[in-house]
Structure 1
Amino acid sequence: MKLLDIAEVAKQAGVPASTLRYYEEKGLIASVGRRGLRRLFDSGVLERLALIALGRASGFSLDEIARMFTREGAVCIDRQALKAKADELDRTIRKLSAMRDGLRHAAACPAPSHMECPTFRRLLSAAAAGAIGPD
């Protein structure tokens, strides 16, 4: 088992040491000892950090990601959680696509003013109803 100090892990994983310390505090990773003041990690931590990065990129919270690991550190990903996240991403994509299309239309609309454009008016109505915009 190869041991890496926190600086090596940070460099190889592409995350700051502060993030590693935070992940350790949250129970997502665990150091196996110290060399002086530096934390030491098993090289397997790099794969775990890759899984955490994938989860974050997919929109999972750190608490949701933490539930993807057993107490012993094994990966145990709930397939239903993956499906639910994929469904959530589909809704977000549809919402953002509609917003993009509306903005493109508004940018090129031949109407004398945006307020005279039926498409822009529908976009305004959708925003007022909460169908588009920040969650």
Structure 2
Amino acid sequence: MDISEVVRRSGFPASTLRYYEEKGLIASTGRRGLKRLFAPGVLDTLALISLGRSAGFSLDEIAGMFSADGKAQIDRQVLSGKADELDRTIRKLSAMRDGLRHAANCPASDHLACSTFQRLMSNALPGKERP
């Protein structure tokens, strides 16, 4: 399949496909004129890359999930670690959402007079240790 077909079927722009090839995430099988050719399996590889990016993996981390021949070799411990990281992020974002909802509906005349908003501000400090 030529690069324009992969673009059409995957939704990735050609520039992204060329970049992924440069990074070693995908490999073309040859050329037809100036157009790169790819095996049909590239669509599965692109779907895995997209899934990994959605989960927060870097391209380098994703590259480590493929063997030299391009087959997926996904370490389950890495997936578990990323799931734990996502759990921490979800808890943090949920607390932030709840604080913002409280601040939006707080009956205090001044947000700075609200103890809940003060706690939200205090927890926003980057170097603050949290219990």
Amino acid in the other structure paired with 2:17: L
1:74-128 deviation per Cα after TM superposition (whole angstroms, max 9, x unaligned): 1100101100100000000000000000000000000110011010010111112
CA shift for structure 1 position 130: 4.3
Partner of 2:24: 27
Partner of 1:103: 100
From 35, 45, 50, the equivalent of 1:48 is 45
From 55, 68, 80, the equivalent of 1:71 is 68
SS in 2 for 1:43: coil
Amino acid in the other structure paired with 1:29: I
Pairs within 5 Å for 1:89-128: 89-128=86-125
Aligned-partner Cα distance in 2 for 1:99–1:130: 17
CA shift for structure 1 position 73: 1.3
Any stretches of 5+ residues in structure 2 without a counterpart? none
Partner of 1:17: 14
Runs of 4 or more above 6 Å deviation? none
CA shift for structure 1 position 19: 0.2
**Residue 5 in 1 paired to residue 21 in 2?**
no
Amino acid in the other structure paired with 2:100: L
CA RMSD of superposed structures (Å) = 0.9
SS in 1 for 2:25: coil
Amino acid in the other structure paired with 2:28: S
Identity %: 70
CA 1:25–1:46 in structure 2 vs 1: closer, same or farther (change >3 Å)?
A: same
Any stretches of 5+ residues in structure 1 without a counterpart? none
